[in-house]
Structures are given as C-alpha cells and as structure tokens.
C-alpha cells in the first residue's frame, strides 16, 4: 500500500528562541513525506526551482520516497522566512512563491496504483485538480489553512465534500465553520461528507471526531522544543503513512495512526528543519508510541 | 474515610456570553465540597457573613456536608463579581472580601479523624495555619493562584514543601517555577517535596505529573458551556473526594480520581453557580466517567 503527498517543497529560513537556520529543507510535502516514509511507500508531488540542492532530493530518495512527481522548474525554489516568539504562532517575515506560484500538480502514472492521498495546504483549486486525477483511492485526506478559509471558501467546501479525512487546527476549524465551540464546528465539517475530522491542538494534542468516533490524544511530552515548523505536516504524514500501510480506516487503525502522527510531530519539533525527522529508526518511533499509550492508560 | 476542605464561601455575580446571575452561591470550599460529596464525607471550613442565605447551608447539609467548621460572622459574606468574554479568562469586576478578610480557619474537633485535606487557594499563611492543626492526615493537597505566587512566594514555598498534591493551572505553574516549559516547571514543584502535580489545562484537560507518573486526561467534551466559575475547584473536589474514599494514592487511584475530577468540572461549567453540581446522581457521574475512559481507549 502506498501514499501520495501533494504540497509545498520549500527552503525555509527560521528563527526561534533557541537558534536559527537559513534556506533549510522544508515544505508540507517534505515534512509529510519523511514522516510517512517510516510506515509506507511515499510518492511526493511538488515543484522546486533549479536552485534546489540535489542533496535534498537524495535525502528523500534515501528514505525510499518516489520523486518522479517532484517537478524541477527553471527559477527559484519557494522560500519562506519566519520567526517564533512563542511556540504556537509563527510570524511570517517573508514569502517568495517563486516556481511554486505556478504549481500545477500532475500525478505521475506510478501514483495511480497508490491507495491513499494527502493533499497539503495548497490552493483548493489545485487540491481539486489533484482529486480529478485520482482513480481508485481508498481514502483521501486534506489539510488547509486560514488563508484559503478566508479567500477560497467555496472551493474549499468542494474539496472537503470530496475527502474522507480533514486535518485542521482549532482556529482553522472555528473560522471555517463560523462556530465558537469545537464540537459544533466539527459537526459543520462532518456534515459536508468527511468521515473524520482530525483536530490538531499543538502542545495540547489532537482529537479524532467522526460519526461514533471521539478519541483524545495528548501531545508527546517534549522537554525541549527547537523549531515547531512542520509539526502539523509531520503529524499528518505519520497519520496517513500508517493508515496507508494498514489500508483500512477502522476505529483502532485511526487511533494507532493518531499516536504515530503524534510521535512524528514530536520528533520534528525537537530539531530544526528535518534533522530529527530524517534520522530516526522505526524501533525508536515504536518505543515512543508505546510510551504514549502507557501515559494514556487507565 | 473523609475529606476536609478549607477555602472561600462566596456570593458571586457572574456574567457570561449566555446569561448572568446575581449573588449566587460560590467559593472554592463550596464548589469543592459539593463535588467531593458524591464520593466521601466532607467537612467544609470557611466563613460567611450574617447575610448568608440559610438555604445555601441547607443545600450543603442535604449533600451530607458537615458545616460545623463554617463560621458565621457578623457582617457581609465575601462577594465576587466577574465577567467572561472568553471561557478561559475571568475578568474581575469587583471583589468585596468582607468577613473573609479576617478569615482565621479553625478545624473543629470532628475534623481530626479525617484522612485527607484540600487547602483552597487562600493566603499561604492561612494554609500553613491549617496544616499546623492537622494531626494524622493520609494526604494533603493545596491549590493556589497567581496572586499568592506573586505576593507571598516564600510562604507558598513552605506550603508546597508540606503537601502531597499540588493543583495548578499552566500559567500558575510557569509563574511559580519561573520556567517556560511545563515539564521543567513541574520538576521545580516536585523537587520541593510533593508526590504529585496536577496540571489543570481547562478545555484541554489535565496532566498528572509525579515521580514515575505521567498521565494525560482530556476534558469531558461539553457542547454548551454556561459558566466556567469554579471549574478548577470542582475538579479538585472530585479528585480529592475520590482519593479520600479509596484512601490510598496508588497510580490507578490517581488516574480514576483525575477522571472523576474531570467529570465534576464538566458538570459544573454546564450551568451557572452550583445548579448542576448540586443536582446530580452518582449513576450519571459514573456513566460520564465510563464515557471518558471509552474516548481515551486505545
């Protein structure tokens, strides 16, 4: 079983209270793919400029990630620059879309046998274009962000009506639904069609909300956070990677997926860029997932 | 087994986005005692003025709560008036200490056979005075608030070094420890002597942190919050009430206590004042605790 991830591939310049990096590997498709690669075969679909360091492509390949759908275009790679004064809120200093501005995702033929798809937080129009190319996926998930909730609500409605799983954080959920209470807001999302809403709450963990499904998962207790960039993408990547591996959205599989996503997010934030995410053993990931279960056990 | 609760008894005037009440029954000792009364025999120690409605005393008695330690003093009862624009932060409009300003807690002789004690968020000097009167308690817990963390830190240090369990919310914990990270901050508290820190996170639940103990508990998913006043006190009351009942601080008992506290807090916030807290059946509380377990089950 395998997973297609469509999203941004970026070079990030990030400053946090404990350090900084320049032009470091980032982007939702990268964080998601690396996190998912511990569980299943991953196909990344995105675009980079001709300045994109070949070592980053090699890193993805080393993780067994298929990069046939990673288009290399004349020009500069998407760049994002941000600063964290507190861990929950990135302050964007600069965004240069560059080649990402004309991103037109095309799923290569190799993806047509995949069983699952994760749509990163790109424009809903692009998400819909990808969905049109999907033939026989078992399950499809989408992420989004406030920018599209405010600026492309109707197209986003259409995306949401066509996916099985929606990833949103609390602010996004409330803004999207126009409701102050998360459970009422979750109903608004679920009534559009998805089977599951995955509510991301950062340091407070996550909640799975669906028809007859309610599951609370704490965040993995990290003592030292270094860089929260990509936490949500790593979470979604781990979650979908595990689901793609097991192939079925049973309640038990969803819970396990949520725990693995939680572990991948924790690994990600404990170092800058993809340093921890790209250098781990599955045994250690399993150990962390077991620990999480222990801390939740009644 | 039985529990002594020392704290404020108040008449609260509260406005929230969904309604308001005037001179309604409140105070940490009241919320705590009512919540605990579903689990164990409770002794309330506090002070009220001569204007305190007798029906409130009757309500406590109806719950089997001993009020011998509830002193009635010439003058007016402590009054607090507040407003909520969001659920997480009360805005104090007015505080009239009245007879509570000279509160000098004295444990009546009947309390001397109790096995546990909950010190509400009164001045650390008063908390210490109560501790001096304790003879042979199995376990003692304290709550506190930012006001004492800022204004009576050394005396609070002394209280914390003498109790088994400390209840704090996230802001209080960070302010008390002078640390930004909750786990590092929790270590500061635990190194002073307590066996357990109960971290209260409002709508994000709670965490038990102790030597070899880490347990995450979600908040009970309430669709309609009406009045958050007393949520922390109801949580602590339910928690300590259950512990007093079972008599031992085993890891399993602490987890069960945490779940019961969570249920009592949820009941409390779903109505103004003590309306829901005072009118419930243990069967329903048990049902809610069972549901919580279900939503946490892996």
Residue A222, pLDDT score: 79
> CB–CB of A83/A90 below 8 Å?
yes
Token digits of residue B273: 């004042």
Contact B221 A181 (CB under 8 A): no
Contacts of A252 (CB under 8 A, 6+ apart): none
Residue B285 CA to residue B243 CA, distance in Å, equals 16
> CB–CB of B26/B48 below 8 Å?
no
Token digits of residue B212: 């070899």
Place of tokens 């608004």: A188
The 3-state DSSP class for residue A155 equals: helix
Q: What would the mean pLDDT of A187-206 be, rounded to a whole number?
A: 97
pLDDT over threshold 90, residue A19: yes
Residue-wise pLDDT tens digits, B232-246? 999 999 999 999 999
Token digits of residue A77: 């790679």
Residue A87, pLDDT score: 80
Size of interface A-B (CB pairs under 8 A): 51
- Closest to B97 (Cα-Cα) out of B8, B24, B26, B230: B8
H or E element in which residue B62 lies: helix B54-62
The residue of chain A nearest to residue B205, with distances taken between CA atoms, is A204
Residue A33, exposed/middle/buried by CB under 10 A (0-12, 13-18, 19+)?
buried
B285 to chain A, minimum CA–CA distance in Å?
17
The reply to whether A255 touches chain B by the CB within 8 Å rule is yes
The reply to whether B295 touches chain A by the CB within 8 Å rule is yes
Contacting residues of B for A298, CB less than 8 Å apart = 255-256, 259, 293, 296-297
Contact A216 B204 (CB under 8 A): no
Contact B298 A296 (CB under 8 A): yes
Residue B88, pLDDT score: 76
Residue-wise pLDDT tens digits, A115-130? 999 999 999 999 999 9
Q: What is the CATH number of the domain that holds B251?
A: 3.40.1190.20
Contacting residues of B for A183, CB less than 8 Å apart = 221, 223
Contacting residues of B for A181, CB less than 8 Å apart = 223-225
Neighbours of B20 (CB within 10 A): 12
H or E element in which residue B128 lies: helix B124-133
Residue-wise pLDDT tens digits, B57-109? 999 999 999 999 999 999 999 999 999 988 878 899 999 999 999 999 999 99
Token digits of residue A128: 């819909």
A255 to chain B, minimum CA–CA distance in Å?
6
* b/e sequence A234-270, b meaning 16+ C-beta within 10 Å: bbbbbbbbbbbbbeebeeeebbbbbbbbbbbbbbbbb
Token digits of residue B268: 């409390």
> CB–CB of A69/A44 below 8 Å?
yes
pLDDT over threshold 90, residue B44: yes
pLDDT over threshold 80, residue B135: no
> CB–CB of A206/A258 below 8 Å?
yes
* b/e sequence B262-297, b meaning 16+ C-beta within 10 Å: bbbbbbbbbbbbbbbbbebeeeebeebbeebeeebe
Token digits of residue B188: 């500061």
The 3-state DSSP class for residue B91 equals: strand
The reply to whether A188 touches chain B by the CB within 8 Å rule is no
The share of chain B scoring above pLDDT 90, in percent, equals 89
Packing angle between helix B28-36 and helix B251-269, nearest 10 degrees? Answer: 120
B183 vs A215, A221, A296: nearest CB: A221
Q: Mutate one of B18, B205, B298 to test the A interface: name it (highest A CB count within 10 A).
A: B298
The reply to whether B183 touches chain A by the CB within 8 Å rule is yes
Residue B143, pLDDT score: 96
Token digits of residue B22: 């005037």
B296 vs A183, A221, A298: nearest CB: A298
β partners of residue B73:
B49
The reply to whether B60 touches chain A by the CB within 8 Å rule is no
The share of chain A scoring above pLDDT 70, in percent, equals 100
Contacting residues of A for B220, CB less than 8 Å apart = none
Contacts of B31 (CB under 8 A, 6+ apart): B230, B233, B234, B237, B268, B274, B277
Residue A30 CA to residue B237 CA, distance in Å, equals 48
More confident residue, A180 or B263: B263
The residue of chain B nearest to residue A216, with distances taken between CA atoms, is B296
The 3-state DSSP class for residue A39 equals: coil
- Closest to B120 (Cα-Cα) out of B243, B5, B19: B5
The 3-state DSSP class for residue A268 equals: helix
Residue B214, pLDDT score: 95
Q: A49: which DSSP letter?
A: E
Contacting residues of B for A293, CB less than 8 Å apart = 298
β partners of residue A141:
A118, A165
Residue B106 CA to residue A19 CA, distance in Å, equals 54
The tally of domains found in chain A comes to: 1
The reply to whether B18 touches chain A by the CB within 8 Å rule is no
DSSP-derived pairing of the beta strands A10-16 and A78-86 = parallel
Contacting residues of B for A201, CB less than 8 Å apart = 204
Q: What would the mean pLDDT of A87-111 be, rounded to a whole number?
A: 92
Place of tokens 């790209």: A278
Place of tokens 């400053």: A15
Residue A49, pLDDT score: 98
Residue-wise pLDDT tens digits, B167-214? 999 999 999 999 988 999 999 999 999 999 999 999 999 999 998 899
Place of tokens 């028809």: A211
Q: Where are the beta strands (DSSP E) in B18-128?
A: 19-26, 41-49, 70-73, 78-86, 89-96, 116-119
The residue of chain A nearest to residue B186, with distances taken between CA atoms, is A223
Phi and psi torsions of B248, nearest 5°: -140, 140
Residue B229 CA to residue B93 CA, distance in Å, equals 14
Token digits of residue B276: 């829901």
B221 vs A214, A221, A297: nearest CB: A214
Of the pLDDT bands very low, low, confident and very high (cuts 50, 70, 90), residue B270 is very high
B215 to chain A, minimum CA–CA distance in Å?
5
B183 to chain A, minimum CA–CA distance in Å?
6
pLDDT over threshold 90, residue B10: yes
Q: Mutate one of B173, B203, B204, B222 to test the A interface: name it (highest A CB count within 10 A).
A: B204
Distances (CA, A) of B17 to A283, B7, B31, B196: 50, 28, 21, 35
Domain residues for the domain of B234 are 2-296
Residue B191, pLDDT score: 98
> CB–CB of B219/B261 below 8 Å?
no
Dihedral, CA atoms, A158, A162, A165, A169, nearest 10 degrees?
Answer: 0
Q: B77: which DSSP letter?
A: P
Contacting residues of A for B218, CB less than 8 Å apart = 205, 207, 216, 218
B35 to chain A, minimum CA–CA distance in Å?
22
Of the pLDDT bands very low, low, confident and very high (cuts 50, 70, 90), residue A13 is very high
Contact B214 A221 (CB under 8 A): yes
Contacting residues of B for A212, CB less than 8 Å apart = none
Residue B1, pLDDT score: 84
Contacting residues of A for B201, CB less than 8 Å apart = 204
Q: If you count them, how many residues does chain A have?
A: 298
Residue-wise pLDDT tens digits, B149-179? 999 999 999 999 999 999 999 999 999 999 9
Q: Mutate one of B226, B263, B296 to test the A interface: name it (highest A CB count within 10 A).
A: B296
Interface of B with A in 191-230 (CB under 8 A): 201, 204-205, 207, 214-216, 218, 221, 223-225
β partners of residue A10:
A26, A78
Dihedral over Cα of B86, B92, B93, B99: its sign: positive
The residue of chain B nearest to residue A185, with distances taken between CA atoms, is B223
Residue B294, pLDDT score: 93
Contacting residues of B for A184, CB less than 8 Å apart = 223
């Amino acid at each position: 079983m395998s997973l297609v991830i469509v999203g941004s591939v970026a070079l990030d310049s990030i400053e946090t209270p404990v350090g900084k990096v320049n032009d470091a590997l980032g982007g939702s498709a990268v964080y998601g793919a690396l996190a998912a690669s511990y569980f299943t075969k991953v196909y990344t679909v995105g675009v980079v400029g001709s300045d994109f360091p070949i070592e980053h492509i090699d890193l993805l390949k080393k993780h067994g990630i298929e990069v046939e759908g990673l288009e290399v275009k004349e020009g500069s790679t998407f760049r994002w620059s941000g600063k964290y004064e507190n861990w929950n809120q990135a302050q964007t200093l600069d965004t240069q879309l560059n080649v990402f501005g004309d991103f037109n995702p095309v799923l290569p033929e190799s993806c047509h046998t995949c069983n699952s798809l994760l749509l990163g937080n790109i424009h809903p129009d692009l998400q819909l274009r990808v969905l049109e190319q999907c033939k026989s996926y078992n399950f499809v998930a989408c992420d989004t962000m406030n920018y599209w909730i405010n600026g492309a609500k109707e197209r986003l409605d259409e995306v949401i009506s066509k996916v099985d799983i929606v990833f949103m954080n609390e602010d996004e959920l409330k803004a999207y639904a126009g409701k102050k209470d998360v459970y009422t807001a979750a109903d608004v999302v679920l009534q559009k069609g998805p089977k599951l809403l995955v509510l991301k709450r950062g340091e407070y963990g996550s909640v799975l909300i669906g028809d007859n499904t309610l599951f609370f998962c704490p965040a993995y207790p990290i003592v030292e956070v270094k860089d929260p960039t990509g936490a949500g993408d790593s979470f979604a990547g781990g979650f979908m990677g595990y689901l793609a591996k097991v192939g079925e959205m049973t309640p038990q599989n969803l819970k396990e997926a949520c725990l693995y996503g939680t572990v991948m997010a924790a690994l990600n934030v404990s170092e800058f860029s993809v340093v921890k995410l790209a250098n781990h053993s599955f045994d250690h990931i399993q150990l962390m997932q077991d620990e999480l279960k222990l801390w939740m056990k009644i």
